[in-house]
Every structure is written in C-alpha cells, then in structure tokens.
Amino acid sequence: MLDISFIRENVDLIKETARNKGVDVDVDRLVLVDGRRRELIQSVERLQQERNANSKLVKSAKGEEKDRLIERTKGINQQIKELEAELEKVMTEYQELMLRVPNPPTPDTPVGEDDSDNVEVKRVGEPPQFPFTPRNHVELMEMHRMVDIERGVKVAGSRSYYLINDGALLHRAVIQFALDQLGKKGFTPMVVPVLVNEMALVGTGYFPLGAEQTYHVEKEDKYLVGTAEVSLASYHYGEILTEGELPKRYAGVSDCFRREVGSAGRDVFGLYRVHQFSKVEQVIICRNDEEESKRLHYELLQNAEEILQGLELPYRVVQVCTGDMGQGQIRKHDIETWMPSRGNYGETHSCSTFHDFQARRLKLRYREDNGELKYCHTLNNTAIASPRILIALLENHQTEDGRIRIPEALQPYMGKEFIG
C-alpha cells in the first residue's frame, strides 16, 4: 500500500506503473473517492465539535433556549449518523482501491510485458557438455527409486509426487544446507505457520490480486501460504520496533502450496511446477532508507548465489522487467539455474525489495532514535526451493552410467559421494 498523499501528487506515475505492471486499478476513481472521504471526515468532525459545544451550553441554558439546543443536538446526531453511514461505504471502496495500487519500480527497471523481456545481468558457471545422451530428472529419479509420481497423482491429484529414499534425503539435505549457510550470516532460523489468516496475505500483498493462486480452507477461513515470506513478514504485524534492533534477518522453513491457476500446459513436466514444495526463504526488515534497502537486496542475492555455487550449479541472474514484477516490488532479480532437460535456465530464486509497501499494510513501524515513527522496509529472497532445485542437481551432476555425483558441500548431509 502506498501513502495516499504520494498517490495524489503522482497520479500519472501511478497510472503508468499500473499499465507497465499489468495491474487493473482505476486511479481517477480512487482520487475521486479519496476526495469524498476527506469531505465526509471533515463534516463529521465539524458536527461533532458543534454537538460537544451544544452539550456544554445545554447545562447552563434554561427554558426555550435549552429546548432549542436539545433539538439542535438531536438534529446533529441524525446528521452524523447519516454521514457516518455514507463514510462507511466510501471507506470500503477506498480501501479496495488502495489495495490494488501498484508500487512504482526503480527508474532502472526494464519495461517489458513478461519474463522474455527480463534483462540478463550475469552468468556464473558453464552448462555441462555431456559426451553421452543425458537423462532428465524423472528418468534419473525413477532409475534410483527416488520418486513416485504415479502414486502421488493417484493419492493427491495432478502435479503431486512422493519423494523416496535418496530423493527424500537429498530434498532434506538441500533444505538444511541452505538453512546452515544463512545461520552463518546471522539469520534467525524459523519454522513458520503455513495456515494463516487473511490479514497476513493482504499484509504481504498477495491479496487481493493473487487470491486465485491460494488454497482456502473454508471451514476455518484460513489460507495455505505459497511462501514463508507471508508468515515471516507478518511476524511483527502491528508492532513498533526500535531503530537499534534493525535490520532483522529471518530464514523461514516451510512447506508451500500454490494452485498454479493458468499454468496448464506450461512447465508441468516432472517436478518443475508442482502444487506442494518446501522452501527456505530469506526475509529482511530494515530502516526506511533506499540506500540500505538496495545494499541488503544485493546481500540477499549474494546469499542465494553462494548457495548455488556450493551446489556447483551453473546459473544466471536477470533483472526482472515491469510486466513480470509483482504489485508491490520496486526492485526484483531472478536467479535461473541451468536445467539440461529444458535446454535452458529455469527460475529457482526471486529477490524482491518492497520499500514500505508491505509495512504499511502490516502496520509495521519503528521508532527512530530521535523519536520519530517510520514504516519499515521489507525485502525477501529464496534461499532454496525443493524439489525444483533437485532437477538441476540431478541433471547437471549425472554420469554416463546413470549415477549422480553429490556436490562436496552436500556430502556431509548425504553421507556419500554418489547416488547409485
């Protein structure tokens, strides 16, 4: 959510941002509703003041004057009641429109429609050149009984799976490896709730625009998270932190659930795009300062790169264009890891800066040393997501005889050098 004063002063910028991000919001209507909202608030406050003044006069008045003041007070109360009823309706529309307003990206963000317009920043490592016909991850996993997709679909429906034997162990190994790496950098490890109230999803910007991607548990009126970011960023909901305790660095471990509406026929082979997966998410809450946000953004990005380097995987970093950004992001980079079966890089990490967009929704502030209250800035980035990362691990490290070499960094977690 943005400051309404900023929106009023930058209507053209907000309209341009909505067009570039593909967000449907009527900015002119918002400005009109905001104007009526302010008029009603002023009218109610003016009448309340008059009522209070009348109430004081009633105490000393007598006769017809007292009766006149009492009647006037009754009339004021009726006017207030009618205005407050209208104000309630106006506020409902105002809040709905405010929740749809997108956050303007940084000036250096490339303008584009989708991920094909993202701009490559760098590449690290070289894709392997196999002297044999490489197998895809499903073939490798079935060869070593690491996965059972057929029974996963039977039990849970499309895009479901069982990880078995070394599949389960490798999954747990990459999760723990990422968590350990972040622990060395001062991140607080957290196992977070995956079933949350609507407040947490509205607060982090996943509602209302992303509601169709979220599983709703109707009986309890709660929702399954698609990332630990939701629970981590909401951890300090409604709180006032101190400047001295910032920045806060959290590493959240969770199962994640996404409906993947609209992705039928796209990236659905094997374990690339599934409904349930596990993730270690990095979240930072910091001061309201662009230079600090920018520095921490690249810190998060570097953390993810170091994890991929430890896994000995080739990857590239892209700067995400406007059409591929979320509503609240002002700066975003994706990391795409080489996946031989796709003959291309596949997204495995997303690094995002929001400034105070989430904090305003979450009522998350801090008190500066001088006593002034400010909204925090929030940032997040994937540390690891599995089983998608297993695609790259298995396919890049396979040998001609079908074995899979385990990267040195994972060998202590797996207790061996090869699978198979």
403 among known catalytic residues? no
Active-site entry in 249, 347, 360, 361: 347
Fold of 115-419: BirA Bifunctional Protein; domain 2 (3.30.930)
Question: Band of the pLDDT at 52, cuts 50, 70, 90?
Answer: confident
93 among known catalytic residues? no
Amino acid 71: pLDDT: 83
List helix spans (H) across 246-405: 290-310, 357-362, 388-396
Active-site entry in 350, 360, 365, 386: 350
Q: Distance between CA 328 and CA 103 in Å, rounded?
A: 5
Question: Band of the pLDDT at 266, cuts 50, 70, 90?
Answer: low
Q: What is the mean pLDDT of residues 150-160?
A: 96
Q: Distance between CA 98 and CA 205 in Å, rounded?
A: 11
Q: Distance between CA 360 and CA 368 in Å, rounded?
A: 17
Residues 6+ apart with CB under 8 A from 416: 406
Does 72 have pLDDT greater than 90? no
Scanning the structure block, which residue is given the tokens 């949350």?
196
- CATH number of the domain at 4-98, out of 3.30.230.10, 1.20.140.160, 3.40.50.300, 1.10.287.40? 1.10.287.40
Question: Band of the pLDDT at 264, cuts 50, 70, 90?
Answer: low
Does 262 have pLDDT greater than 90? no
Active-site entry in 37, 51, 135, 258: 258
Q: Distance between CA 269 and CA 264 in Å, rounded?
A: 11
Q: Prior bond to 107 cis, omega within 30?
A: no
Report the chain's mean pLDDT, rounded to a whole number: 96
Scanning the structure block, which residue is given the tokens 């039990």?
155
239 among known catalytic residues? no
- Domain map of the chain by residue range? 4-98, 115-419
Give per-residue pLDDT as tens, 160-193.
999 999 999 999 999 999 999 999 999 999 999 9
Widest Cα–Cα separation across the chain = 106
Q: Token pair for residue 323?
A: 């059409």
Question: Band of the pLDDT at 1, cuts 50, 70, 90?
Answer: very high
H or E stretch at 58? helix 27-60
Task: Please give the full DSSP string across 238-260, using - where no structure is assigned.
Answer: T-EEEGGGPSEEEEEEEEEE---
Active-site entry in 51, 249, 365, 388: 388
Give per-residue pLDDT as tens, 59-69.
777 788 887 88
**Strand, helix or coil at 346?**
strand
Active-site entry in 273, 316, 342, 403: 273
pTM: 0.94
273 among known catalytic residues? yes
100 among known catalytic residues? no
Amino acid 253: pLDDT: 98
**Strand, helix or coil at 295?**
helix
Residues 6+ apart with CB under 8 A from 395: 134, 135, 136, 137, 140, 339, 340, 341
Question: Band of the pLDDT at 194, cuts 50, 70, 90?
Answer: very high
